[in-house]
Structure 1
Amino acid sequence: MPPIDDEDWSDSDEEALSEVETSVLLGTPDGAITAAADLADAAVSRIGGHPAFLPSNEPSFSSSQCKACSRPMELLVQMWCPFENSPMDRALYVWGCAVPGCQAKEGCIRAWRGLRYNDAYAAKLEKKLAKQKAKAPIPAEKATPKPNPFSLSGVPNSSPFGLGAQIFGDSPSTASSPPVEEADEPSDNESDATSEEELLTALAATTLEESPWRSAPSYTPLYLSTCSEYLPAQPKPKLPPGVQVIEPLDDPDKGGKDVSWIAEAYENSLDVDQVFERFTKRVGFEGDQCVRYELEGTPLPYASDSILESLFPLPPAPPLPVTKAAFTVVSPAKRAYDPSSVPSCPVCKSKRIFECQLMPNLINVLRASSDTEDKRKKLTDEERRKLVEQELKGSNSGGSRGMEWGTCLIFSCSKDCSLTDDGKEARESWREEVVLIQWGV
């Protein structure tokens, strides 16, 4: 065996074995919800079950009705997702119709956001912002990365409420927001525990007693937890000395996280199978994911269809040369993400931004009973991989009644407005948002 040449070794050899964190949070099921307090708590994110509403005035039961058949739909997910530095409590609710005849019809999946002004946190937020304004500006290279609204645990007081480990965003690796109060103020910190308990009590106070929502159809409620998405690092090629590769798709504003998987442009030559193959490859790194969350991020397309055409349009083609002497080489056109086709908020007229998408595995999780969920945890890696492939291809229907979509893309008001119909500020709000659905291949 010839001796090992040290010059043949490269950092990329180790990098190929590492993983890179993206800017996406993945929502996964985390066991059945049995505690009555959690079921009534709007700050506990869930899969299935009945909704726990934020607005004190219970929304109209028609919010859950399918626009195709007018029947009440089951709650698919409820997510606790307040915007950063906002005084509003915020939750996102998504309902879906499982009637076969309603599939592929407009209004069979509906998403709503509920807002409620939080007086206690608004006072804390005002105090926090005043302190920040009084301090000297922090150099850009030392600035704290922008936190994700789901990072509710892992760092003391990293959330407005410290709501515990079962809430959407239970991932220490994504918790990066600074404490609301300064560490050198023990008196304020001591009062935080009392205020947080009061906030939790207030959140849990909304119940569905004597309400039509109580008798609505529902799936078994499961906790919805999150983790950061990690992807295998792309191996770097060994290049001659002095050669440099520039990757224009890397966005320095993403806090150093790898976003090349998301920002990758789509070539015009891609057909349905190739887009679907890229989707399944990306999802395959965490097959249990039911939700992908990336506020103001880029959706992961499921197939080449009208939704892909509208969100990833082709750029204008350059004029072709008309003379032989002017022959040029024209590069293939590439699609880039452009959400300008998504309707604006009808209330404040602001643009809507991508917030999250529902994944195919959610259909299977909702359909499965608690016993089936326990069996899934005992599957081997190979059995789990095959099951995920069946779910993605729609071959694991498990009955005549069920949803058949590939992914549901949810776009929300970028200003998260809380306005009445006549444009006045309101302490509470209940607004429907846009859902774009890509169906099975």
Structure 2
Amino acid sequence: MPHSDEDWSDSDEEILSQVETSVLLGVPDGTIDDEADRVDGAVSRIGGLPALLPSREPPISSSHCKSCSQPMELLVQIWCPFEDSPMDRALYVWGCARSGCQGKTGSVRAWRGIRINEKYAQKLARKRQRQLDLAREKAKAEESKARLETQQKNIVGGNPFAMKGKGATNAPIFGLGAQIFGAPPSAVEIQSEEMTKKLPIEESQDDADDSDTEDELLTALAATSISESAWKSAPSYPPLFLSTESEYIPPPPKPKIPKGVQVEGLDDDDKKDKDISWAKETYEDSLEVDQVFERFMNRVKHEGEQCVRYELNGTPLPYARDATFDLLWPAPPQEPLPVTKPDFKVVRQQKRVYDASAVPRCPICNSARVFECQLMPNLINVLRPADEGKGKKLTDEERRKDLEKALKGEDKDAKRGMDWGTCMIFSCEKDCCREGGKETKEAWREEVVYIQWDV
């Protein structure tokens, strides 16, 4: 039976069906009014003053623009500890809004602040030790069980009183008492039962000793106060909460097939397949400059309020075809063109694939730097002066138009002088915390920022 238009046309149900990607989106979530939240390093934010993690206060020069040497405003602070790491960790990004610094290196800077969380480190140590103990006990139990099974087989095989012939079993005869009360358990069953009872008891005792909750351990131990430091007088935007949500993208529309046309090789499984491998996206190596920007727009439009895209060790979303794009998506080697007619061949369009090997390695531990997050154009709109547009509530359509203007660079006033399209941050994949070749309890490290400027 041929497929009908209804089978392959875009339906409301398909449009509402979303595909979750591995990207976390940072969106604004109201003003930070409580002073306790403002000084808590575990509170991610847009604008405001930084809540610094290291006990040794970093120099205020960390926030200075490398172009004009003036202090910059904090754009975002992100609480982002590595999984199963004993280190508290936050990422800080500053940006210069002066028009003369746009397009220049160093007008956006990112720093990684880390410190050891002693309480959480102890919990991780207990967890790892418990896992090792359980693994040893299980291995020992399996070894004992196998050894006893072998011994039992040897005993049964050499028992002259064992039953022989048809219907015989490997078990010895125990007489009438065995029929009434049951045969006595073998040594293997006794040993196995003891091991089975023993393991859960040990694990539950360890868990009982560990009375701390995850929430308590994942909260910054002591927020650093900046009340008496130079950071207090630093320029800043009004602070906003930065909340995270998963990115959801509609699946690509199904092709429309004319009536009466059958498509071979397609079945129900093919129709239901909605897998999207975003991390493997490639770009055609053509002269079409707008291709990259159009793909950026199509991806971002599904959540216009996003200010940050976070995907540790993931793939950034390029804004435009520029020097940064050429660095991270290097041009593939071109096939040589034929010089004679007999050698004529079709040269296929080459694809550009993401490759971060050109990003400078960490100067402290020489580990590779990986993509962690990127700032989005809507962040510039959010960081407007507090009195600009105050009291005005935008409709969804007005918000969408503002986003398009910001992405296309048509609203210079709204951008307050910042003209970048996106800022990509790359950080040490080992999250190193070293000083002079030795491990330390805290560190303050500058990471790499690649800026794609407005086209």
**Contact 1:21–1:258 (CA under 8 A) maintained in structure 2:** no
- Is the helix fraction higher in 1 or 2? 2
Deviations 1:191-243 (A, max 9, x none): 225x8558747333x10011000000000000000100011112345773435
> Aligned with 1:353: secondary structure?
strand
| 1:100 positional shift | 0.7
Trace 1:197-216 onto structure 2 (pairs within 5 A).
Answer: 197=216, 200=219, 202-204=221-223, 206-216=224-234
| 1:47 positional shift | 0.3
2:306 maps to: 289
Letter of the aligned partner of 1:242 in structure 2?
Answer: G
| 1:283 positional shift | 0.8
Trace 1:35-50 onto structure 2 (pairs within 5 A).
Answer: 35-50=34-49
Match of residue 335, structure 2, among 298, 311, 318? 318
> Aligned with 1:192: secondary structure?
coil
Pair 1:192-2:212 in alignment: yes
Structure 1, unaligned runs of 5 or more: 138-181, 248-255
1:428 maps to: 442
Letter of the aligned partner of 1:224 in structure 2?
Answer: L
Letter of the aligned partner of 2:428 in structure 1?
Answer: C
**Contact 1:46–1:221 (CA under 8 A) maintained in structure 2:** yes
CA distance in 2, matches of 1:295, 1:346: 20
Deviations 1:83-106 (A, max 9, x none): 111111100000011111111111
> Aligned with 2:383: secondary structure?
helix
**Contact 2:119–2:217 (CA under 8 A) maintained in structure 1:** no
| 1:383 positional shift | 1.3
1:381 maps to: 396
Trace 1:207-226 onto structure 2 (pairs within 5 A).
Answer: 207-226=225-244
Letter of the aligned partner of 1:428 in structure 2?
Answer: E
2:83 maps to: 84
> Aligned with 1:409: secondary structure?
strand
**Contact 1:49–1:75 (CA under 8 A) maintained in structure 2:** yes
**Contact 1:94–1:110 (CA under 8 A) maintained in structure 2:** yes
Letter of the aligned partner of 1:398 in structure 2?
Answer: D
Q: Which has the higher contact order (CA 8 A, sep 6+)?
A: 2
CA distance in 2, matches of 1:44, 1:360: 22
CA distance in 1, matches of 2:268, 2:67: 52
| 1:400 positional shift | 8.9
> Aligned with 1:300: secondary structure?
coil
Pair 1:231-2:245 in alignment: no
Match of residue 240, structure 1, among 253, 263, 269? 263
CA distance in 2, matches of 1:439, 1:128: 46
**Contact 1:64–1:74 (CA under 8 A) maintained in structure 2:** yes
2:151 maps to: none
> Structure 2 vs 1, CA of residues 424 and 245 (structure 1 numbering), >3 Å: closer, same or farther?
farther
1:155 maps to: none
Trace 1:332-411 onto structure 2 (pairs within 5 A).
Answer: 332-369=349-386, 372=389, 375=392, 378-398=393-413, 401-411=416-426
Trace 1:129-148 onto structure 2 (pairs within 5 A).
Answer: 129-133=128-132, 134=134
Percent sequence identity over matched residues? 60
**Contact 2:53–2:90 (CA under 8 A) maintained in structure 1:** yes
Deviations 1:298-350 (A, max 9, x none): 11111111001111111112233344223222210111101111111111111
> Structure 2 vs 1, CA of residues 299 and 244 (structure 1 numbering), >3 Å: closer, same or farther?
farther
> Aligned with 1:277: secondary structure?
helix
1:63 maps to: 62
TM-score w.r.t. length of structure 2: 0.76
Letter of the aligned partner of 1:75 in structure 2?
Answer: L
Structure 2, unaligned runs of 5 or more: 140-202
**Contact 2:37–2:43 (CA under 8 A) maintained in structure 1:** yes
> Structure 2 vs 1, CA of residues 183 and 18 (structure 1 numbering), >3 Å: closer, same or farther?
farther
2:116 maps to: 117
| Paired residues, number | 380
Letter of the aligned partner of 1:364 in structure 2?
Answer: N
CA distance in 2, matches of 1:203, 1:86: 18
1:102 maps to: 101
**Contact 1:394–1:404 (CA under 8 A) maintained in structure 2:** yes
CA distance in 2, matches of 1:12, 1:385: 23
CA distance in 1, matches of 2:340, 2:269: 35
2:197 maps to: none
> Aligned with 1:115: secondary structure?
strand
When the two chains are superposed, the root-mean-square deviation of aligned CA atoms in Å is 3.1
**Contact 1:262–1:298 (CA under 8 A) maintained in structure 2:** yes
Residue range with higher mean Cα deviation, 320-329 or 386-395: 320-329
**Contact 2:237–2:385 (CA under 8 A) maintained in structure 1:** no
Letter of the aligned partner of 1:57 in structure 2?
Answer: R
Deviations 1:62-96 (A, max 9, x none): 10011111111110000000011111110000001
Q: Which has the larger radius of gyration?
A: 2
